[in-house]
């Protein structure tokens, strides 16, 4: 994550364009049980919200005699990312520690079923991101429990659920072909791709992120359960970054090649940058994507054992950056500008032109917002090597002009290609945010 | 984890039988760089240790002018589990949030190579559990870096590394057949087993646990790298429990069936109980296992989709416990005694005799220390269902009398069998602890 990301609160996602204030939204979302749980006490009548979510929360009065107490809920507030807003959460939200990504195939052919699914997912997602169960732990004992229960007692953990539609949704099945955004198709083949169908595509996606893996898993599991009869899981992929023990200075996380990943990301606190890079605007495509964005996911397996045998100088030349500091080669500050013109005494570029940083940067005119996670999926039984790498995820308003143009450059010449292979690929049109009372994808399906 | 576990500090693992004091041990283990990092400041000359690690740490004087400052390092102390001790850490240590378990096959046939490997692993493990890198981030640029780097900047995260030997180590290859503990063999087949060779056995194991998955992964990866030429990974399995968002009351974690798991565990703070249940004593077997213990691991896949279709009352009857409270059926307190004699008005047992709790408990005379994790390994491509469940791990002084006798009972009659299948199995003799200057397994190989 970029240094700048640390400044990013939730304001950018909920502050403008909403009839509800943040305080109202949160008030509606928090059940009494949550309030009591989060404050660790019962009978509290009033809670103060942290500035991070903007304002004072007036919690519902607990039953029984009111206790005139005031408790700070910085922790609770910091632990919840609002679900409703003009944009979906989980996009410009600073990356949580864990990812559970799920791709679904629809088994229905009726658009009304798809609509019902997205309505049900909306209701569930509002509860799941607020840290409440879907139903209670003690439903009718003669029926299967509404909620699978493994997240009972856990806090919201900054859970976000981000929903999208794959290009496949716009084939003939649902009468949506005319609504497909012009350049929204499966990605072209890139040089060196070694894609396996089991990690590609899907009609719908859910990106669950949370600071607690059990919370993210619980969300995907329950959404899959709700989908039964309408959609089935096509593939899932989990990811992580350093978690509880992040260094006190909060630096950029390292990927499994030992290098910092995300240094050059755009500033998520800048509305102007996000409108330029991430959010689809009113003149950018179909109205149903106004406020949405496009997600590109690549499952990138690292050739860990080969990398681990390469020298430090090779590794640094491959990234174009110093390993320890993350600074561009020749610089000391991680966030120093990439100086691709700098040359050494013999006239050779200080930063190799085929290094990952140099190629990804190009002339600097094309950017995207990266939000990747490391993954570790045990051993590859065929080779006895670790199956580990990167769940690359980026968000951009135009897949062709942003992700595809950069990836074409990288796939042909990136030095890093020697140490990795792309095994999975998918793109999704992530819907605009949803307002309370509405449902995800309403502008497309309504 | 048991309520009682919360009392367990590190004292039980390091307090007695050691020539070094805790303070000395920690002083030696912490590099200056760590000290500076953990205090978040440079130039500090003196640090006070928390009571959890017992005493005052006199850090090495930082270079440059001494600054007469005193900083509390409660956080740092709580974040480190001592590596050296009479027992290995990671056994009676309260369970950290993440597991990376690795099983290795030796590729050498020389016992001297095995010895060298364990010596090298000891040195590395002492560094890894203290949160230091093996080598630095800036080694000789013309060589591969000594450390793979992805844990740079992360704290120790309570990392523990626990080493063991499988029954296979005592076959003919290394002349160790005569040293095999009498009843230490691969587990017998149990009713309903559906074991896959890829999740079974191994010559050596390393159980890495930490509150940060990236720290645990880093440890296994670097130990595998050190083993190159002597041993290769046979299988790995990661696991998790709820992490950052544990409820404030610190209750027993829930497994992926939504029930609390670990309620009936013995008290790890009781030396007497641990000697009776966990630690192999001087009269229990070969001298090289004095202070060691035996680990049983079962990879148990849950039939999540089937479970999720069963009623709450079925689920509770299956476990013999209430889902929300974790209390035995008919009781209200999670830690209430299992009353297997209680009957309802019609004379039927309140707790079904074939429930998991009733069968696991038996007559209460046989116990083991469970230290299990949930796992989620994406989707089963053959069935489209989630491949998720439990990495069951238990420690006991006698595998046959403890794990095997209980598992035989369970495998035949446990109601829970309908909802799970055992796909992996391994046992390891976990060596006694190591003293500074010694190496893991020294009593066996020395």
B408 vs A: CB within 8 A: no
| Partners of residue A77 in chain B, C-beta under 8 Å | none
- Between strands A293-302 and A204-210, the pairing is unpaired
Instruction: Give CA B215 to chain center in angstroms.
Output: 15
- Nearest Cα to Cα of residue A151 among A228, A242, A214: A214
What phi, psi does A71 have (nearest 5°)?
Answer: -125, 135
Question: Between chains, do B245 and A211 touch, taking CB under 8 Å as contact?
Answer: yes
Say yes or no: B211 contacts chain A, CB-CB below 8 A: yes
Q: What is the pLDDT of residue A384?
A: 84
Q: Which residues of A touch B261 (CB under 8 A)?
A: none
How high is the pLDDT of residue A53?
Answer: 24
A139 and B312 within 8 Å at the Cβ level: the answer is yes
A211 touches chain B (CB under 8 A): yes
Q: B309: which chain A residues are within 8 Å (Cβ-Cβ)?
A: 144
pLDDT of residue A35: 33
Judge whether B235 is closer than 8 Å to chain A, CB to CB: yes
Cβ-based contacts of B243 with chain A (< 8 Å)? 97, 211-214, 243-244
Average pLDDT over residues B197-225: 96
Interface touch B215/A242, C-beta < 8 Å: yes
- Helix extents (H) in A334-404: 356-361
CA dihedral for B114, B119, B122, B124, sign (positive or negative): negative
Is the Cβ pair A144, B384 closer than 8 Å? no
Q: Does the distance separating the beta carbons of B312 and A140 come in below 8 Å? A: yes
Interface test with B, best of A71, A379, A380, A382 (most B CBs within 10 A): A379
Helices (H), A201-323: 213-226, 271-277, 304-307, 312-319
CA dihedral A81, A203, A404, A282 (to 10 degrees): -60
A252 part of contact set with chain B, CB < 8 Å: no
pLDDT for the residue A136: 79
Strands B231-240 and B293-302: unpaired
SS3 content of chain A, % helix, strand, coil (to 5): 30, 20, 50
Cβ distance B308 to A142 less than 8 Å, yes or no, reads no
Among chain A residues, CA nearest to B311: A144
Closest chain A residue to B305, measured at CA: A225
With an 8 Å Cβ cutoff, is A71 touching chain B? Answer: no
Three-state SS for A375?
strand
Q: The tokens of B118 are what?
A: 């364990």
Which one, of B200, B242, B239, B234, lies nearest residue B216 by Cα?
A: B239
The number of residues making up chain B comes to 446
Q: Which one of A129, A235, A244 makes the best mutation probe of the B interface by having the most chain B beta carbons within 10 Å?
A: A244
Task: Please give the residue that has the higher pLDDT: either A263 or B408.
Answer: B408
What is the token pair recorded at B301? 């896949």
Work out the percent of chain B whose per-residue pLDDT is above 70.
81
Give residue B380's pLDDT.
Answer: 87
Closest CA–CA distance from residue B188 to any residue of chain A (Å)? 25
Question: Would you state the torsion angle of the CA atoms of residues B263, B267, B269, B271, taken in this order, to the nearest 10 degrees?
Answer: -160
Which run of H or of E encompasses A197?
none
The C-alpha of B240 sits at a distance from chain A's nearest C-alpha, in angstroms, of: 7
Record: contact A378-B254, CB cut-off 8 A: no
Using pLDDT thresholds of 50, 70 and 90, give the confidence band for residue B242: confident
What's the Rg (C-alpha) of chain B?
Answer: 23
Alpha-carbon dihedral angle through residues A181, A184, A185, A186, given to the nearest 10 degrees: -150
Q: ∠A391-A397-A401 over CA atoms, to 5°?
A: 85
Chain A contact set for B377 (CB, 8 A): 377-378
- Give just the sign of the alpha carbon dihedral B404, B409, B411, B416: negative
Residues of chain B numbered 254-283 and touching chain A (CB < 8 Å): 254-259
Query: Does B30 have pLDDT greater than 90?
Result: no
In this predicted structure, what is the pLDDT of residue B159?
97
Tokens linked to B82? 């001592």
What mean pLDDT, rounded, does chain B reach? Answer: 84
pLDDT digits (tens, 9 = 90+) for B60-83: 222 333 333 333 333 455 699 999
Contact indicator for B148, A334 with CB cutoff of 8 Å? no
Q: Would you state the pLDDT for residue B282?
A: 93
Q: Quick check: B214 and A241 CB within 8 A?
A: yes
Cα angle value A236/B199/B102 (rounded, 5°): 90
Which of chain B's residues have a Cβ under 8 Å away from the Cβ of A211?
Answer: 243-245
Cα–chain center distance at B160: 8
pLDDT classification of B429: cutoffs 50, 70, 90: very high
Distance of CA B93 to the CA centre of its chain: 8
Q: How many residues does chain A have?
A: 446
Which regions of chain A are under pLDDT 70?
A: 1-78, 243-250
Instruction: Enumerate the β-bridge partners of residue A207.
Output: A101, A162
Q: Which two tokens stand for residue B212?
A: 């940060």
Q: Do A324 and B386 touch (CB under 8 A)?
A: no
By Cβ distance, the residue of A137, A151, A243 closest to B213 is A243
For residues B349 and B326, give the distance between their C-alpha atoms in angstroms, rounded to a whole number.
18
SS (H, E, C) A128-191: HHCCCCCCCCCCCCCCCCCCCCCCCCCCCCCCEEEEEECHHHHCHHHCCHHHCCCCCCCCCCCC
Asked if B373 has any chain A CB less than 8 Å from its own CB, the reply is no
pLDDT in the model for residue B50: 26
Average pLDDT over residues B251-276: 94
Contact criterion met (CB below 8 Å) for B175 and B123: no
Considering CB atoms only, which of B144, B251, B311 is closest to A311? B144
Q: What is the pLDDT of residue B138?
A: 78
Is the per-residue pLDDT at B248 higher than 80? no
| In contact, A53 and A13? CB cutoff 8 Å | no
Residues A119 and A124: their CA atoms lie apart, in Å, by 9
Q: Which residue in A44, A150, A159, A247 has the most chain B C-beta atoms within 10 A of its own C-beta, making it the best mutation to test that interface?
A: A150
Handedness of CA A342, A345, A351, A354 (dihedral sign): positive
Q: Across the interface, do B254 and A139 touch by the CB < 8 Å criterion?
A: no
Does residue A58 sit in helix, strand or coil? coil
**Chain A residue numbers touching B145 (CB-CB < 8 A):** 258, 312, 315, 323
Give the per-residue pLDDT at A250.
Answer: 60
CB A274 within 8 A of CB B170: no
For testing contact with chain B, the best of A302, A378, A386 (most B CBs within 10 A): A378
List b or e across B277-310, with b for residues whose CB sees 16 or more CB atoms inside 10 angstroms: bbbbeeeebbebbbbbbbbbbbbbbbbbbebbeb
Structure tokens at B399: 């595998």
Do A310 and B144 lie within an 8 Å CB cutoff?
yes
Better-predicted residue by pLDDT, B342 or A37: B342
The two tokens of residue B327 are 């209390």
HEC string of chain B equals CCHHHHHCCCHHHHCCCCCCCHHHHHHHHCCHHHHHHHHCCCCEEEEECCHHHCCCECCCCCCCCCEEEEEECHHHHHCCCCCCCCCCCCCCCCCCCEEEEEEEEECCCCHHHHHHHHHHHHHHHHHHHCCCCCCCCCCCCCCCCCCCCCCCCCCCCCCEEEEEECHHHHCHHHCCHHHCCCCCCCCCCCCCCCCCHHHECCCEEEEEEECCHHHHHHHHHHHHHHCCCCEEEEEEEEEECCCCCCCCCCCCCECCCCCECCCCCCCCCCHHHHHHHCCCCCCCCCHHHCCCEEEEEEEEEECHHHHCCCCHHHHHHHHCECCCCCCECCCCCCCCCCCCCCECCCCCECCCCCCHHHHHHCCCCCCCEECCEEEEEEEECCCCEEEEEEEEEEEECCCHHHHHHHHHHHHHHCHHHHHEEEEEEEEEEECCCCCCCCCCCHHHHC
Neighbours of A51 (CB within 10 A): 11
**Rounded CA separation B83/B160 (Å):** 7
Which value, to the nearest 10 degrees, does the dihedral of the CA atoms of residues B319, B325, B330, B332 take? 150
Q: Look at B308 and A148 and tell me if their CB atoms are within 8 Å.
A: yes
Q: With contacts defined as CB-CB under 8 Å, which chain A residues touch B213?
A: 213, 240, 243, 376
d(CA B117, CA A17): 62
Q: Which residues of A touch B323 (CB under 8 A)?
A: 137-138, 145, 149
**Cβ count near B190 (within 10 Å):** 17
The pLDDT value recorded for residue A288 is 98
CB burial of residue B207 (10 Å; 0-12, 13-18, 19+):
buried
Please give the C-alpha separations between residue B166 and each of B103, B109, B216, B427, B428, in angstroms, as whole numbers.
9, 15, 21, 6, 4
Q: Which of B153, B381, B384 to mutate to test the interface with A (most CBs of A within 10 A)?
A: B153
Q: What span, in angstroms and rounded, lies between the C-alpha atoms of A394 and A388?
A: 19
Pairwise CA distance, residues A31 & A45, whole Å = 13
User: Is the CB of residue A413 less than 8 Å away from at least one CB of chain B?
Assistant: no
A 10 A CB-CB count for A436 gives 16
pLDDT at B382: 84
Answer whether A52's CB lies under 8 Å from A78's CB: yes
Cross-chain Cβ contact A311/B152 below 8 Å: no
The angle subtended at Cα A335 by Cα A331 and Cα A341, nearest 5°, is 50
Whole-angstrom Cα distance, residue B316 to residue B53? 41
Average pLDDT over residues B31-56: 29
Q: pLDDT by residue (tens digit) across B268-288?
A: 999 999 999 999 999 999 999
Could B377 and A378 be called an inter-chain contact, meaning their C-beta atoms sit closer than 8 Å? yes
Quote the pLDDT of residue A244. Answer: 53
């Amino acid at each position: 994550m970029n240094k700048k990301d640390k400044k990013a609160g939730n304001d950018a996602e909920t502050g403008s364009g909403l009839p509800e204030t943040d305080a109202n939204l949160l008030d509606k979302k928090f059940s009494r049980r949550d309030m009591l749980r989060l404050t660790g006490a019962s009978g509290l009548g009033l809670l103060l919200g942290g500035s991070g979510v903007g304002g004072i929360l007036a919690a519902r009065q607990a039953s029984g005699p009111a206790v005139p107490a005031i408790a700070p809920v910085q922790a609770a507030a910091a632990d919840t990312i609002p679900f409703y807003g003009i944009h979906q959460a989980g996009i410009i939200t600073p990356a949580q520690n864990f990812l559970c990504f799920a791709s679904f195939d629809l088994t229905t052919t009726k658009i009304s079923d798809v609509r019902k699914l997205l309505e049900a997912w909306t209701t569930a997602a509002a509860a799941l991101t607020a840290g409440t169960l879907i139903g209670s732990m003690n439903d009718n004992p003669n029926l299967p429990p509404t909620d699978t229960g493994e997240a009972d007692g856990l806090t919201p953990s900054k859970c976000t659920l981000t929903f999208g539609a794959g290009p496949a949704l716009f084939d003939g099945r649902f009468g949506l072909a005319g609504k497909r955004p012009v350049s929204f198709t499966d990605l072209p083949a890139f040089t060196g791709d070694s894609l396996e169908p089991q990690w590609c595509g899907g009609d719908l996606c859910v990106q669950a992120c949370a600071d607690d893996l059990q919370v993210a898993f619980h969300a995907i599991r329950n959404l899959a359960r709700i989908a039964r009869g309408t959609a089935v899981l096509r593939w899932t992929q989990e990811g992580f970054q350093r978690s509880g023990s992040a260094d006190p200075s909060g630096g950029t996380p390292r990927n499994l090649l030992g290098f910092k990943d995300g240094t050059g990301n755009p500033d998520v606190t800048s509305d102007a940058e996000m409108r330029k890079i991430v959010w689809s605007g009113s003149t950018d495509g179909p109205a149903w994507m106004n406020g949405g964005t496009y997600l590109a996911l690549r499952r990138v397996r690292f050739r860990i054992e080969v990398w681990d045998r390469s020298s430090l100088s090779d590794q640094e030349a491959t990234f174009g950056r110093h390993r320890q500091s993350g600074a561009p080669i020749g610089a000391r500050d991680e966030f120093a500008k990439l100086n691709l013109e700098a040359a050494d005494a013999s006239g050779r570029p200080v930063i190799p032109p085929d290094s990952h940083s140099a190629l990804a940067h190009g002339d600097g005119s094309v950017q995207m917002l990266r939000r990747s996670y490391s993954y570790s999926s045990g051993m590859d039984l065929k080779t006895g090597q670790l199956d580990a790498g990167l769940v690359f995820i980026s968000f951009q308003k135009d897949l062709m002009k942003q992700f595809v143009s950069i990836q074409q450059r990288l796939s042909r010449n990136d030095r890093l290609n020697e140490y990795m292979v792309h095994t999975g690929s998918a793109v999704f049109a992530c819907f605009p945010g949803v307002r309370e009372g509405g449902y995800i994808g309403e502008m497309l399906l309504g």
